[in-house]
A and B are shown apart, each in its own frame.
Chain A
Amino acid sequence: MKRLISIELQKLWKNKASRVLTLSYFILLTFIALVASINFKFLGFNIRLADQGIFNFPYIWHFNTWTAAWAKLFLAIVIVSMISNEYSYGTLKQNLIDGMSKKEFLLSKFLTVVLISLVSTIFIFALSMILGLCFSSYTEAGIIFTDLDYLLGYFVKLVGFFSFCLFLAILIKRSAFALGFLFIWFIFEGICEHLILPRVFGSDAIAEKIVNFFPIEAMANLIKEPISRFQAYKAIENQLTTNSIPKDYTMHWCDILIVLMWITIFMFLSYKLLKKRDL
C-alpha cells in the first residue's frame, strides 16, 4: 500500500499544475478563517459574522465542512487530470508493461484520493478547532465535540465525489470532457428532480426521494446547507414568517450508506473498464 501511494504521490507532486492546484486548494480552505473578519451593514446595524455565532461550537462543524466542501471542485481538476494524463502520455500502458497490475493501478489512484480526503478532513478539523476556540461563545469539551459526525460526512463526501471524478476520467479519458460531463450530470440530476420525475410520479415528494439515491444529490445530502440554520438569519426569518417548519440538518446514516454504495459502484465499474479495454 505504501508503495502504491508513493508511486502516485510522485506522479502528482512532480507535476507543476497538480502541485499548484493542490496547494491553492489548501490555501483556499484557510480563507474560511477570513470570513471571520467580514463586516457588513444590515438595516443600519454593523454586523460582524464572527460575532454572530457562525463560529460557535458545535455549529462551526456544520458551517465549515459545508463551506469547505465547495473547494473540492478545485481538486476535481487534479483528480481528473491525474487519470487523463496517464492516457495521453501513454504511461498507463507503460506502467502495466513495467509490471503493475490493473488492480494496483486503480488502487494507487483510489488510495491517493482517500489520502487527500483524509488530509483535507484533518485540515478542516484543525482549522475549525482554532477558529472555534478563538470565536466560540461556548468552549466546554462536551459542546466542542458534539456533531463531529459532520467531519465523517465531509470525508465520505470528498471520497465519493473524487471517486465519481476518477470513474468519469477513466470512462472518457480526456480531462476537459470528463469535467464537462460532471457538470452535465449535475444539471441532469436537477432536471430529473424538478422536471421529469415529478411528472412521471405526479408528486414532488416521491421525485425527491428517488433523486436522493443519485450520486451528486446523495453527496449533497450528507451535509445540508447550514445558512438557514444560522441564528441571525433565523431571527430575521422568524420575524417575517410566523410558522416555519423546522428543517432536519442532521446527517443520516442511510445517506452515508448510499454514498458508500456509489463509491463501490464507481470503483467496480472503473476496474471493469480498465480490464476490458485494449490499450
Chain B
Amino acid sequence: METILSITNLNKRYGKLQAVKDVSLEIHKGNVYGILGPNGSGKSTTLGIVLNVVNKTSGEYKWFGGAMQTHEALKKVGAIIERPNFYPYMTASENLRLVCKIKNINYTKVDEKLELVGLSDRKDSKFSAFSLGMKQRLAIASALLNDPEILILDEPTNGLDPQGIHQIRDIIRLIAAQGTTILLASHLLDEVEKVCSHVLVLRKGEILYSGSVDGMSANQGFFELDSDNNSNLKAILSQHPAVEKTTEENGKILVYLKEPLEAADLNSYLFQKNIILSHLVLRKNSLEEQFLELTNQHQSTPIKK
C-alpha cells in the first residue's frame, strides 16, 4: 500500500512541557484516520509539525516517501487547522484564487469546489461577512482545491452549531466516499467513530492506542447488574475468576471482565450463590467510554504497550 506520510519517534518540547512524545505513525492511501485526544494532548502540535508551522524537537517525518521537500509536498495536501484563516477583506473566490497561486495551480477548480461546499451563491461576498460555518466550509473548499492526496482536518466542527456540524460531516463523508485519504483530529468521539477506519489515541503527547476503530471497541464488554442486595452481590462477584472489577453507577453494578464470560453463565453462577438478579444486561463500550477508560488507565501509570 502506498504510504502518504510516515512519522517516526517525533518529539516536541515547549520548554519544560513535552507536547509530543515519541509519536510514530504511518498513513496509507485510501484510509480514514482519526486522531483522538483530550484538549492539549498534542494532536494539533503533531499536525503542526508535519504541516511545517511548528518546529520539531527531534524525530523524523516523511511525506510521500521523502522524495520532495515539505513545502512542495504540502502543495499536494489539503489541510485546515482549528479555525479558518483567510484574508477578511477578500471575497471567497478571491481567497481561493490566492490559494491557487500559492499552490501553483490554475483557477479552474475554484467554482467547482465552492459548489461542492454550497457557497456558490456567496462567492463574491467578503470573507469577513461569513458565519463561522460558512468560513469552515470555505476552508474545506480551499483544502480541496488541488484535489489533494490527503485531507487533514483539525477539529473541523469546533464551535459550530448543530446544523453546521451536520453540514461539515456530510462533506467529510462525501469526500471519504470518493476515496480521498483523510486524517481527522478531534476530541469528539462519535465524529471519529462515524467516519474513521483507523484511530490513534493520544494523551499528554503519548500514543495510547493505534489501530482500527473496531479493534478498539471489540473488547469483552461489561455487565450491568441489579439485585435486592447489591453489597452482597459485589462481594460474591469479586470471587469470580473472570471478573476484573466492579463499580457502582446509578444504583447499578457494573462488572468489568478479564476474560470472556457468557451472560447465562454469570446468571447461573450468581443463582447458585443465592442471588437473584432483577437486571442483567451485557453492554459493549461505546468508543467514548472506551476512550475515557483508555485515557483514565494511563492517568497515573506510564504507557504499557
Q: Is B116 interfacial (CB 8 A cutoff)?
A: no
Q: Are A93 and B81 in contact (CB under 8 A)?
A: yes
Q: Is the CB of B85 within 8 A of A89?
A: yes
Asked if B71 and A278 make an inter-chain contact with CB atoms under 8 angstroms apart, the answer reads: no
Given contacts A14-B94, A96-B53, A97-B51, contact A91 B103 (CB under 8 A): no
Q: Which of A10, A102, A275 is in CB contact (< 8 Å) with B101?
A: A10
Q: How far is the CA of A80 from the CA of B97 in the complex (A)?
A: 24
Q: How near does chain A come to B12, taking the closest CB pair, in angstroms?
A: 9
Point out the residue from A3, A94, A279 that lies within 8 Å of B86, measured CB to CB: A94
Contact partner of B85 (CB less than 8 A), chosen from A14, A16, A91, A278, is A91
* Pick from B51, B77, B79, B87: contact of A91, CB under 8 Å: B87
Write out the residue numbers on chain A whose beta carbons fall within 8 Å of the beta carbon of B55. 275-276, 278
**Interface flags, A1-13, vs B, CB<8A=1, else 0:** 0010011001100
Bound complex: CA A278 to CA B103 (Å): 22
Cβ-defined partner of A96 (8 Å) among B52, B86, B89, B90: B52
Residues on B with C-beta less than 8 A from A99 are 71-75, 77, 102-104
CB distance from B56 to the nearest CB of A (A): 10
The answer on a CB contact under 8 Å between B52 and A10 is no
A275 contacts across to B, CB distance below 8 A: 55
Task: Determine whether B260 belongs to the interface, using a CB cutoff of 8 Å to chain A.
Answer: no
Q: Which of B51, B79, B85, B86 has the most CB of A within 10 A?
A: B85
- Scan residues 68-99 of chain B and give those whose CB is less than 8 A from a CB of chain A: 69-75, 77, 79, 81, 83, 85-90, 94, 97-99
Q: Is B48 an interface residue (CB 8 A)?
A: yes
Instruction: Decide if A24 is an interface residue (CB 8 Å cutoff).
Output: no
**B303 proximal to A (CB < 8 A):** no
Number of contact residues on A: which range applies? 20 to 34
**B87 in contact with A14 (CB, 8 Å):** yes
B101 touches A96 (CB 8 A): no
- Within 8 Å by CB of A89, from B75, B79, B87, lies B87
Which residues of the partner chain A approach B98 to less than 8 Å between Cβ atoms?
7, 10-11
Q: Is A15 in contact with chain B by the CB < 8 A criterion?
A: yes
1/0 per residue A239-279: CB within 8 Å of B? 00000000000000000000000000000000000011011
Which chain B residues border A85 with CB–CB below 8 Å?
87
Are A91 and B86 touching (Cβ within 8 A)?
Answer: yes
Contact A98 B89 (CB under 8 A): no
Q: Which of B69, B74, B87 contacts A98 (CB 8 A)?
A: B74
User: Given A7-B102, A99-B74, A99-B103, A94–B85 Cβ distance below 8 Å?
Assistant: yes
Question: Contact size class for B?
Answer: 20 to 34
Which residues of A are found within 8 Å of B104, using beta-carbon distances? 3, 99
Instruction: State which of B53, B74, B88 has its C-beta within 8 Å of the C-beta of A93.
Output: B53
CA distance A101 to B104 in the complex (A): 13
Q: How far is the CB of A32 from chain B (nearest CB, A)?
A: 31
Cross-chain contact B71 with A100 (CB below 8 angstroms): yes
- Docked-complex contact A279 and B71, CB < 8 angstroms: no
Q: Is B236 an interface residue (CB 8 A)?
A: no
**Which residues of B have CB within 8 Å of A94?**
85-86
Distance (Å) between the CB of A111 and the closest chain B CB?
14
- Residue-wise, chain A 163-178 has the 8 Å CB interface mask toward B (1 for contact) of 0000000000000000
- B53/A279 in contact, CB under 8 A: yes
Q: How far is the CA of A99 from the CA of B76 in the complex (A)?
A: 8
Q: Tell me, yes or no, whether A95 is within 8 Å of chain B by CB.
A: yes
Residue A104 lies at the interface, judged by CB distance under 8 Å to chain B: yes
Give B149 Cβ to nearest chain A Cβ, in Å. 12
- Does A90 reach chain B (CB closer than 8 Å)? yes
Complex: A180 Cα to B60 Cα, angstroms: 41
Q: Which residues of A contact B73 (CB under 8 A)?
A: 99
Report the minimum CB–CB distance from B91 to chain A (whole Å).
9
The answer for the CA separation of A276 and B74 in the assembled complex, in Å, is 19
Q: Determine the distance from Cα of A100 to Cα of B77 in the docked complex, in whole angstroms.
A: 12
Q: How many Å from the CB of A41 to the closest CB on chain B?
A: 49
Which residues of the partner chain B approach A90 to less than 8 Å between Cβ atoms? 83, 85
B residues in contact with A6, CB < 8 Å: 101
Is B71 within 8 A of A104, CB to CB? yes
Q: Which A residues, 4 to 62, have Cβ-Cβ distances below 8 Å to chain B?
A: 6-7, 10-11, 14-16
Tell me the A residues contacting B by CB distance below 8 Å: 3, 6-7, 10-11, 14-16, 85, 89-91, 93-102, 104, 275-276, 278-279
Cross-chain pairs A/B with CB under 8 angstroms, 7 sampled: A6-B101, A89-B85, A91-B86, A97-B51, A98-B99, A99-B73, A278-B54
- Sorted nearest first, the 7 A-B pairs with minimum C-beta distance are A90-B85, A99-B75, A101-B71, A94-B85, A99-B74, A279-B53, A278-B54
